[in-house]
Structure 1
Amino acid sequence: MELIDNQILLKLGISAILGLIIGLERELKRKPAGLKTSLVISITSCLLTIVSIQSAYTFPKFHNVPVNMDPLRLAAQIVSGIGFLGAGVILKKGNDNITGLTTSAMIWGAGAIGIAVGASFYLEAIAGVVLLMISVEIIPAFLRKVGLKQLSQKDIQIKIIVQHKENIDSVISNLETMQITLESIRIRDLLDKGHLIELKALVGYRKPVSEIYTEISDIKDVISTDIEI
């Protein structure tokens, strides 16, 4: 019995360490589900998997009950439960951008790692964490460096108030010279005689927001600038 207890403690410990790695990556990026969330998910997923497997074999043996139990039945429900947590971190911003998808996937991954450790697939769990870290950190950074345009740009929403209607074309032309890729443009009149230009655009991933704001504010006839990432 002592050996079994030690094995359980080992599994929970490994699960905690691997969950810590996943959570730390999210925490350093200030994501909504960070260190504590990943730790709790990984450890509890591991514990529930252990309980599921142990009860499937221990209960019939010690109580002489002729029943067949699925050793991973409880573990299978973990995936469904984690789905609710994952959905909670997916957010839609005011500029119609969807955020939290990677964090949601990492929550699901933390649960999967816990299940793998609980089922004694230690090497597979470690390999899974390594591949997760490579996938979310190293590969995107590498692809940005080699110059893939889609991965080297970020989405922004720009709102500009222009005083005179005849300068709208000039303002838009200035934006295009700033290496800002315009995806959509909406223009409407304001009650105070100004004109609002709403744009969805792409800019360089490393370009500071303050620099974009300053460049747009310096354009002739621009009286107000608002930028959201």
Structure 2
Amino acid sequence: MDWMEQFWVIVDTGYAMVLGGAIGLEREMKNRPAGFRTHMLVAGASSLLIGIGQLSLADARLAPPGQISTDPLRLVEAVIAGVAFIGAGTIFSHRRGQAIAGITTAASLLMVAVIGVAAGFGYHALALAAALLTLLVLALLNVMERRVSARPPPPDR
């Protein structure tokens, strides 16, 4: 196995971790159940899983070249299944009374997993754009929600 191919998988993984960390930092600053480290690790694991899958397809030690074929979406399904358990844990761990908390954090974990998948496949611009859109949703829409909820209710007629 070529060391340079493995090096580029690590570069993609690091890139995914930086993007996931930016989203995790936003969650951390709002004291949410999954923060900086969790988001970094989910994004990195997603990217690494995709990279390992791609390397294994090219590895002649596993089978002669061209003998193994796979649907790349199976790797994505594995990532999503793993993140589903983590997301469910963030929701259930912060359940208070009848209200359910942690859904946005669970969704952000899913998003960083998909960002990691994009980085793992080498779609760096797509991963960056998705991370920026995610940060926009988490930060800007939160400000808008606070403004709307701060308005006094209309008087009863």
Residues 56 and 71, structure 1, Cα contact 8 Å, conserved in 2: no
Find the counterpart in structure 2 of residue 30 from structure 1: 31
**Structure 1: where are the runs of 5+ without partners?**
154-178, 181-229
* CA apart distance, 1:57: 3.4
Change (3 A) 1:20 1:36: same
Bigger Rg, which one: 1
Instruction: Output the CA distance in 1 between the equivalents of 2:66 and 2:144.
Output: 57
Q: How does 1:171-210 map to 2 (within 5 A)?
A: none
- Normalized per residue, the structure richer in helix is 2
Q: In structure 2, what residue type is equivalent to 1:71?
A: P
**In 2, Cα distance between the equivalents of 1:126 and 1:83?**
23
Instruction: Tell me, in whole angstroms, the C-alpha distance in 1 between the residues paired with 2:54 and 2:73.
Output: 6
Which has a greater percent of strand? 1
**Partners of 2:16 and 2:116 within 8 A in 1:** yes
CA shift at 1:58, angstroms? 3.1
Which of 97, 100, 106 is equivalent to 2:99?
97
**Greater CA deviation, 51-60 or 19-28?**
51-60
Tell me how far apart the structure 2 counterparts of residues 51 and 111 of structure 1 sit (CA, whole Å): 15
Q: Which amino acid aligns with 1:28?
A: M
Aligned partners of 1:66, 1:8: CA distance in 2, in Å? Answer: 22
Structure 2: gaps of 5 or more residues: none
After superposition, the Cα gap between the structure-2 partners of 1:133 and 1:69, relative to the gap in structure 1 and judged at 3 Å, is same
State the distance in 2 between where 1:136 and 1:70 align. Answer: 33
In 2, the alpha carbon distance for the partners of 1:89 and 1:67 equals 37
Preserved contact between residue 83 and residue 109 of structure 2 (Cα < 8 Å): yes
Equivalent residues, number: 151
- Contact 2:90-2:102 within 8 A present in 1 as well: yes
Distance 1:30 1:144 in 2: 17
Q: Distance in 2 between matches of 1:65 and 1:131?
A: 38
Paired position in structure 1 for 2:54: 53
Q: CA deviation at 1:23?
A: 0.9
Q: Output the CA distance in 1 between the equivalents of 2:58 and 2:7.
A: 18
Match of 1:115 in 2: 117
* 1:71 CA drift (Å): 3.5
The DSSP-based 3-state class of the residue aligned with 2:112 is helix
Are residues 1:129 and 2:131 paired?
yes
Q: Percent identity?
A: 29
